[in-house]
Amino acid sequence: MPAVDKLLLEEALQDSPQTRSLLSVFEEDAGTLTDYTNQLLQAMQRVYGAQNEMCLATQQLSKQLLAYEKQNFALGKGDEEVISTLHYFSKVVDELNVLHTELAKQLADTMVLPIIQFREKDLTEVSTLKDLFGLASNEHDLSMAKYSRLSKKKENEKVKTEVVKEVAAARRKQHLSSLQYYCALNALQYRKRVAMMEPLLGFAHGQINFFKKGAEMFSQSMDSFLTSVADMVQSIQVELEAEAEKMRVSQQELLSLDDSVYTPDFDVATPQINRNLIQKAGYLNLRNKTGLVTTTWERLYFFTQGGNLMCQPRGAVAGGLIQDLDNCSVMAVDCEDRRYCFQITTPNGKAGIILQAESRKENEEWICAINNISRQIYLTDNPEAVAIKLNQTALQAVTPITSFAKKQESPCPSQNLKNSEMENDKIVPEAAVIIPKAEQLIAPGTPIQFDIVLPATEFLDQNRGSRRINPFGETEDETFPEAEDSLLQQMFVVRFLGSMAVKTDNTPEVIYEAMRQVLAARAIHNIFRTTESHLMVTSQTLRLIDPQTQVTRANFELTSVTQFAAHQENKRLVGFVVRMPESTGGESLSTYVFESNSEGEKICYAINLGKEIIEVQKDPEALAQLMLSIPLTNDGKYVLLNDQPDDSDGSSSENRGAESEA
């Protein structure tokens, strides 16, 4: 141990300037030691606080490890091994927590407490003795000053004796305090070295004891357990790296696709459409009516489930029912100047929801899927095969002609029968080899017309020139004055589906075959758009009237209607055969197919009633008996069928379609 500087006690009484100078050095050293001791104590208290925090942290960690089992993880399948491992680790952490608590106690007793005692005892003692030495020195200086002022001329023994005693007492007091102060400063040089070493010894012994007990705790069994856990983590890491590489390759493959994946309606000209779908899912825009004339469009996720159309908003757990698709109809519509819109109509004719797809391909696939589902194909044993078979049958339908002009240019089968037979010898249409009975009803290769007449606006432009359209919708057509005198005026809301030339009108099977071919051709060529019209049945004619302009689109003499029938399964399908004279002197037969909002049987009944009126019109008595046989309602209108009109769909046109007036 090196020598320690000291203050000489013999020089305390003289209190020379040299002694005072040396004393100031010791005082400066004591002040520096006090500052350093405070900083060291803060550092040791921080270590102790960290150890206490470690105890609390390990205790909380143990609880959290046990809480893993109680968490309701949505993807927690297969976590049994992890749960058992965490339980074991929780026990280990609890044992470590005991060791950390013991270490914290040792640090408090052997590290923090000694340095606190050194600061509070030794350093505080030196500071107190310094103050006492200063007071004693001041008293000695005052007494010496008083002694120095004693008078030489008027010397008073009594006063002199008192002053001398006072100086002696002050000097003794200063001497005593200086001796104590010097001794404390000399002892501080030794105590500071002990104070620096003792806390570190306690810290080191506490850590060594902690590690020794920890080593004893983690025996060979703990080592094997840690090895198994490390192996499990390593295997999981290997699986993760393999999965990450696989996902990286998949990501590169997905990103290497062309822009058609991201661009909506990329192949608008020739999209690859799957017409055999019996289920479909994807995002569509749903039209919602928010006011009398205001609407909003909401992008939602739609999917089919059995015969139902479901909707699931983003973030929802499950979807909800939007529309029952059984026996419903779907067609493309124009809505608010938006593309790719289609409307689903309920079986009773009510206009349902309007949806918008993002591309032509999606639009047509949704329409095809809903059409397949509405036929209840999904209830069969093999719905995919049934859908493919139906579409293959539809592919055998003839190629449609969608304009009135093209049909006028094409030769009628009756006019060019020989030419068509010669062409049929060379090229045999697909429909001719499927159902032999169909050849006897409809000539193979017969074109289908989907627009019965020109639109109402074109009709006005071509037949009325530039005349103004009546804004109140009142008809200006005076070419049918017989309607006012007709005994029968019956109105139905219909949509024209198609027409085609036929060979015979002797059987209603020709109408059923025409319906099959028209519907198949519409499905194949995605012609779902139809125009709504009013079919007026009178005792002389059948008239198709535009519901907005009241312009007559087509007119057929009732005597030229030779056959009419409603579909046996789809009650809303109705058709009739018309015999028309040709310019060559012969006659042609054409079948017209419609979809009605009401039952087709009602239209057939009205046509039959009109034809009966024509037959008995020459005989007033027979006519009166016929009109009396028709029941009347309370307001004097004739009921067409034995049952009352069906107004369940709320349509005023259907109410009109269930009654007749005389």
Whole-angstrom CA distances from 598 to 289, 594, 601 are 26, 11, 9
| Residue 520 one-letter amino acid | A
Phi-psi region of 445 (alpha: psi -120 to 50; beta: other; left: phi over 0): left
Tokens of 295: 């609407």
The end-to-end CA distance of the chain, in Å, is 138
Q: Residue 412 belongs to what H/E stretch?
A: none
How far from 248 is each of 256, 262, 383, 489, CA to CA, in Å? 12, 20, 38, 73
Q: Could you confirm whether domain 489-629 is CATH 2.30.29.30?
A: yes
8 Å CB contact between 546 and 456: yes
- Structure tokens belonging to residue 232: 């499990």
> How much is the pLDDT for 486?
62
Alpha carbon 208 to chain centroid, angstroms: 59
Question: What's the gap between Cα 355 and its chain centre?
Answer: 18
Q: Are 662 and 627 in contact (CB under 8 A)?
A: yes
- Cα gap 184→190, rounded to integer Å: 10
Cβ neighbour number for residue 373 with a 10 Å cutoff = 27
The single residue listed with the structure tokens 């005991």 is 98
**How many residues are there in the chain?**
662
Matching CATH number, 281-393, of 3.90.700.10, 2.30.29.30, 2.40.30.170, 3.30.465.10:
2.30.29.30
CA–CA dist 105, 496 (Å, integer): 96
Pull the structure tokens for residue 631. Answer: 């029941």
Q: Among residues 290, 291, 318, 321, which one has the least CA distance to residue 304?
A: 321
* Residue 437 to residue 369: CA distance in whole angstroms: 30
The pLDDT value given to residue 569: 86
pTM reported for the whole predicted model: 0.45
The predicted-structure confidence for 194-250, as pLDDT tens digits, reads as follows 888 999 999 999 999 998 888 887 766 677 888 888 998 999 899 999 999 999 999
Q: What is the pLDDT, as a whole number, of residue 418?
A: 35
* Sheet containing strand 552-557, strands side by side: 552-557, 541-545, 532-538, 489-502, 587-596, 573-581, 561-566
Q: Determine contact, residues 443/421, Cβ cutoff 8 Å.
A: no
**SS in 3 state form for 117-179?**
HHHHHHHHHHHHHHHHHHHHHHHHHHHHHHHHCCCCCCCCHHHHHHHHHHHHHHHHHHHHHHH
Please tell me if the domain spanning 281-393 has the same topology as the one spanning 489-629: yes
pLDDT, tens digit, 9 for 90 and up, residues 331-389: 888 888 888 999 998 887 777 899 999 988 899 899 989 988 988 888 888 888 888 88
State the sign of the Cα–Cα–Cα–Cα dihedral 643, 649, 651, 652: positive
Q: Are 563 and 572 in contact (CB under 8 A)?
A: no
Neighbours of 181 (CB within 10 A): 25
Under 8 Å CB-to-CB from 175, ≥6 apart: which residues?
Answer: 12, 13
How far is 310 from 281, CA to CA, in rounded Å? 9
The token pair at 25 is: 């050095």
Joined together, the tokens standing for residue 207 give 């850590």
| Strand positions, DSSP E, 336-391 | 338-345, 351-356
Q: Please state the domain extents for the chain.
A: 17-217, 223-252, 281-393, 489-629
pLDDT of residue 411: 40
Residue 362, helix vs strand vs coil: helix
pLDDT of residue 624: 65
308 phi and psi, to 5 degrees? Answer: -120, 145
DSSP SS3 for 77: coil
Task: Report how far residue 105's alpha carbon sits from residue 97's, in angstroms, rounded to the nearest whole number.
Answer: 12
Location of structure tokens 């979809």: 595
Q: What is the DSSP code (8-state) at residue 469?
A: P
Residue 399 has a pLDDT of 41
Instruction: Please list the ranges in the chain whose pLDDT falls under 50.
Output: 397-436, 453-479, 481-484, 633, 635-637, 639-662
Q: Which residues contact 336 (CB under 8 A, 6 or more apart)?
A: 287, 295
Exposure class string for 593-616: b at 16+ Cβ within 10 A, else e: bbbbbbbbbbbbbbbebbebbbee
pLDDT value for 651: 37
**Residue 643: per-residue pLDDT:** 39
- Residue found under tokens 């102060």: 181
Q: Find, among 534, 533, 530, 514, the residue nearest to 577 by Cα.
A: 514
Q: By three-state DSSP, how is residue 288 classified?
A: strand
The CA distances from residue 647 to 304, 348, 350, 420, 598, in Å, are 30, 10, 11, 47, 9
Q: List Cβ neighbours of 513 (8 Å cut-off, separation of 6 or more).
A: 435, 437, 438, 441, 442
Chain-centre distance of CA 489, in angstroms? 54
In 187-337, where do the E strands start and end? 281-289, 295-305, 308-312, 320-324, 329-335
499 vs 479: CA distance, rounded Å:
25
Q: What is the mean pLDDT of the chain?
A: 79
Q: Alpha helices, DSSP H only, in 375-431?
A: 383-395, 404-409, 417-426
CA distance 96 to 90: 10
List, for residues 548-594, the tens digit of each pLDDT value: 888 888 899 999 999 999 998 888 899 999 998 887 778 889 999 99
Architecture of domain 17-217: Up-down Bundle (1.20)
How is residue 69 written in tokens? Answer: 């089992």
